[in-house]
Every structure is written in structure tokens, then in C-alpha cells.
Amino acid sequence: MAFTFTLSNSSGVPYYRQIVNQVMYAVANGMLKPGERLPTVRQLAVDLQVNLNTIVKAYGELEIRGVVNTQQGTGTFVSECGTQIDPKEKQKGIERLCFQFLDEIAAMSVSTDEVITTLKRIIKERTKNRKGDI
């Protein structure tokens, strides 16, 4: 598999949530294609140096969301409909995250220009890093 998972222990986001977010991002942006196999639970736990249950929890949540399908003895695969998200639900989720983000930024007295500049830099770095993983 070409996609590489990374975890940050300084982000405050639980590891299982980081894995879910990375898979969702990769599927939404075409870095993980329908039918593509994800690493086994054991392999990903070893690679990321986390407890097996962390991976089980992440894969379980992805399966509930319909993003992946687990086939006993075969593996976990990106689902064929994993990229199909209800547009209204997607928009509500985006707005909810933006409101949370803006509330936190306002509490830090950060200007809009600083936020936009930082976001552009992060997106550029992330895109560059992800292309290198493919």
C-alpha cells in the first residue's frame, strides 16, 4: 500500500481519531481508491507503535461509516461507496468544524490573514508530503 499513516502525539487528537481522519482525507482526495487494501490491524499497530485496540477502534469506526469493508481472513478494503458522502451532511460537518476552529482562533487573538497564510502553507506541505507517499 502506498499511503503512509503518521501520528502526532502533540496534537491532542486521540490516535484512533487521527487514523480515521487520515483515511477519510485520503479517500476523499483520491489517495486511497475503492477496493484498495489497508494494512492489517497487526501491521499498522506495529508500524505506528500503538496498541492493537487503537487500530481495531479506528477500523471499526470507518466500517460503521461505510468507508471500509472488512473481510474476515482477507483484510480491510476501501469500500466502493466510501467516497459517497451526503452533500448536506458534508456541508454541516464542514461548518461545524469551521465554527469550532474560528472560536479557538478568536480566543488566541489570531488575525484572519495569519490563519489563511498558515492554512495555505500546511495544505501545500501536506499535498507535497502525500504525493511523495503515493
Q: What is the mean pLDDT of each run of 10 residues along the chain (134 residues)?
A: 81 91 86 93 95 96 92 91 68 83 89 92 80 52
**What local confidence, expressed as pLDDT, does residue 36 receive?**
94
Domain residue limits, the chain: 15-78, 87-133
**What local confidence, expressed as pLDDT, does residue 89 receive?**
73
Q: For 15-78, CATH number? A: 1.10.10.10
Rounded distance between C-alpha atoms, residue 97 and residue 40, angstroms:
30
**What local confidence, expressed as pLDDT, does residue 134 receive?**
43
